[in-house]
């Protein structure tokens, strides 16, 4: 996914949300279409197909291995919480949509100043 000449990777999006918060969360992946390093992309796809939660540490590692989410949905939940603290949508290899509390979105905006709010 590109913004002008700048590639925006899954790893960048996760780190923009705060690596510590991502690492200490459990992640559910659905409707995943992945690219990048084949074994890592297959693992992400498998998590999505099996509806199996993945640790934030593992998700960060997979992203660092070069997995790119083309389409899909990631839900990040703090341990013990039922509701996600963040919802990330990869859309058609061109956009990332992030739903989270304002303080998380403000943090991400610092990494991606070109980002704009979604319409209500």
Average pLDDT by consecutive 10-residue portion of the chain (120 residues)?
66 94 97 94 95 95 94 96 96 86 87 76
Q: How far is CA 115 from the centre of its chain?
A: 15
Strand partners, 88: 74, 98
pLDDT of residue 4: 52
How many of the other CB atoms lie within 10 Å of CB of 28?
A: 16
pLDDT of residue 117: 75
pLDDT of residue 2: 45
Question: What is the rounded end-to-end Cα distance, in angstroms, of the chain?
Answer: 23
pLDDT of residue 6: 62
């Amino acid at each position: 996914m590109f913004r002008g000449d700048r590639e925006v990777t899954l790893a960048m999006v996760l780190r923009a949300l705060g690596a510590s918060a991502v690492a200490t969360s459990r992640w559910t992946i659905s409707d995943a279409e992945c690219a990048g390093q084949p074994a890592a992309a297959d693992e992400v796809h498998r998590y999505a197909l099996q509806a199996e939660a993945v640790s934030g540490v593992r998700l960060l590692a997979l992203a660092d291995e070069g997995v790119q989410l083309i389409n899909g949905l990631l839900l990040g939940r703090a341990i013990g919480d039922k509701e996600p603290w963040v919802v990330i949508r990869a859309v058609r290899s061109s956009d990332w949509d992030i739903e989270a509390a304002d303080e998380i979105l403000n943090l991400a905006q610092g990494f991606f100043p070109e980002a704009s709010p979604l319409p209500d």
